[in-house]
Amino acid sequence: MTDTSVSTHILDTSVGRPAEGVPVHLSVRASSGGIWSPHGSSKTDGDGRCKDLPALPEGTAHVRLHFDVEPYLTARANAQQDAPRARDSGAFFPEVAIVFAVRPGEHYHVPLLLNPFGYSVYRGS
């Protein structure tokens, strides 16, 4: 293992609060076009953070974070009293997959800003 690490959090921008209980899966590969290897998983805590993702193995070039957001978004839509009566089945984006390049020895914090009909990500600090 190296000291290269990844963390993430999710902010639900539709309510201005962290998204709790979202499963997050971490996969790694050594090069473009390489085979993805599952490397860890977590679930967002009450602050919307995954603090327990494992350090990346030596030789990792790319990381994929896969967020399973459909159960969270569906539960939020069902709980909202002002939600539209006619909805698509489930979430518009049932999952979000983010792929990014890494360098040895660095920490990568990749927040997900989420709402029922869109999302954005960035490299945080």
* pLDDT tens per residue, range 20-63: 999 999 999 999 999 999 999 999 999 999 999 999 999 999 99
> Could you say which of 3.40.50.300, 3.40.920.10, 2.60.120.10, 2.60.40.180 is the CATH number of the domain covering 5-121?
2.60.40.180
Q: Tell me the C-alpha distance between 98 and 1, whole Å.
A: 22
> What contacts 12, CB < 8 A, 6 or more positions away?
18, 19, 48, 72, 76, 114, 115
pTM tops 0.85, yes or no: yes
